[in-house]
Amino acid sequence: MDLTLTDEEREVREWVRTFVSKEIMPLEQTVLERERRHERGLTFEELKALQDKAEESGFFGVQTPEEYGGMGLGALMSALIEVELGRSFVQFKFGGDADNILFSANDEQQEAYLLPTINGDKKSCFAITEPGAGSDARNIRTTAVRDGDEWVINGEKTFITGGDVADFCLVFAVTDKEKGADGGVTCFLADRDAGWTSTTIDTMGEWGPAALSFQDVRVPHASILGEEGRGFELAMRWIGKGRYMLPARALGACERLVEMAMEHAQNRETFGAPIATRQAIQWMVADSAVEIEALRWLVLTAAWQVDNGRDSRQAQSMAKLYGGVKANEIVDRMLQIHGGMGYTRELPIERWYRELRLLRIYEGTDEIQRRTIARNLLAGHASVRGHLG
């Protein structure tokens, strides 16, 4: 693999790095103060203002195809951008993106849902997880029964990202119990106006998912996304759209945390010398640096495979698993280096401590990643010699 960046790619990364440093990081203290008051970090108006400022420089729809007005960047560059965004805990993403499976919409659906989402006029959420169907997505119980030219949806969804603010959802429901997941699950585009409701779920971090309730929610037959009964395939495509992006963001956080800890260790003195001279501190820094570099190559390898049309599922599972585990170990070490100050809310370390814990749960738990990795190896679909073996 030759991962040398072109001049243009380097310029893209440097622009994002500068944008994060000048526009996003200065907002961190304000965001922390708001979150302590249980308020939203960035208001919609503030987020939109940042997105508009980025769009003026051409940053709009990072992975959205150019024919839809986006940048159409590949997986590798998208991952590198995500690393830079991860250097701040402020939840920001560039405008112009939409759920990848929305590009499977027909012309009428694209006009009603895809294009307004890209333009920022509508917000969507992906609704498959249920109280009894998290990692086991095949066990969903929400049903949709046809009644003439309409479908009647009943069920509950939980831990839905963006569910409290979404204008419409991509909801997955069983339409044929006999066929099960393979042929019996359908994806529907359901407007909030159709009658589904949401309730925010309070969590230990600032990520505020929602529970969705569907009680005799009626949607037209034309709201089916893709084909009837083929919803599970769409769901797997959504879930597998880029697990390398999650550890990529964690990678940026780990870089920033280690830099903060090194600066603190060089300035904090005990017994007449900076704690940076203590072997215990040096080993924590060294171990973290090695793990950051290993994570970097796991993330970039997975993204490189995507760009080159290879089956990247094994590499993505490895990056997701390693990234979640090591990010939690690294933030714990960096809090330890800061001592009591790291435990306070004057510094953002405890904020990252809570936020990074989520990485080991959502979009595939550690256990699911281990299961996937082991099954692929034992079935001969992957080798411990790697993709070059």
CATH classification of the domain holding 229: 2.40.110.10
Within a domain: residue 107? Answer: no
CA–CA gap between residue 320 and residue 78 (Å, rounded): 16
**Domain membership of residue 29 as a residue range:** 7-97
- Burial (0-12, 13-18, 19+ Cβ within 10 Å), 356: buried
- Residues of the chain under the 70 pLDDT cut: 1, 134-135, 137, 387-389
Residues 287 and 331 in one domain: yes
Within a domain: residue 102? Answer: no
Q: Which of 251, 252, 232, 258 is nearest to 324 (CA)?
A: 251
Angle between helix 75-85 and helix 279-307 axes, rounded to 10 deg = 150
Residues 130 and 197 in one domain: yes
Residues 248 and 364 in one domain: yes
CA–CA gap between residue 62 and residue 242 (Å, rounded): 13
Q: What is the pLDDT of residue 362?
A: 86
Residues 22 and 136 in one domain: no
Q: Of 218, 238, 258, at which residue does a domain stop?
A: 238
Within a domain: residue 255? Answer: yes
Within a domain: residue 113? Answer: no
Residues 251 and 229 in one domain: no
Residues 130 and 162 in one domain: yes
C-alpha distances in Å from residue 105, one per residue of 111, 231, 290, 295, 320 = 9, 12, 44, 35, 29
Within a domain: residue 117? Answer: no
Q: Which of 331, 130, 323, 311 is nearest to 235 (CA)?
A: 130
CA–CA gap between residue 386 and residue 310 (Å, rounded): 13
Q: Of 175, 210, 238, at which residue does a domain stop?
A: 238
CATH number at residue 282: 1.20.140.10
Q: Of 212, 238, 264, at which residue does a domain stop?
A: 238
Residues 283 and 373 in one domain: yes
Selecting among 14, 45, 363, 367, the annotated active-site residue is 363
Q: What is the pLDDT of residue 180?
A: 78
Within a domain: residue 106? Answer: no
Q: What is the pLDDT of residue 387?
A: 64
* Global pTM exceeds 0.85: yes
Structural domain count, the chain: 3
User: 269-270 and 124-127 as β-strands: parallel, antiparallel, unpaired?
Assistant: unpaired
Q: Which two tokens stand for residue 19?
A: 């944008």
Residues 79 and 205 in one domain: no
Q: What is the pLDDT of residue 36?
A: 85
Within a domain: residue 17? Answer: yes
Residues 137 and 233 in one domain: yes
Residues 199 and 213 in one domain: yes
- Residue 173 near residue 128, CB atoms below 8 Å: no
Q: What is the pLDDT of residue 245?
A: 93
- Residue 308 neighbours by CB under 8 Å, 6+ apart: none
Is 67 assigned a catalytic role?
A: no
Residues 247 and 370 in one domain: yes
Within a domain: residue 1? Answer: no
φ, ψ for residue 236, nearest 5 deg: -65, -30
Q: List residues bridging with 217 in a β-sheet.
A: 153
φ, ψ for residue 130, nearest 5 deg: -130, 165
* Tens digit of each residue's pLDDT (9 = 90 or more) over 255-297: 999 999 999 999 999 999 999 999 999 999 999 999 999 999 9
Residues 224 and 251 in one domain: no
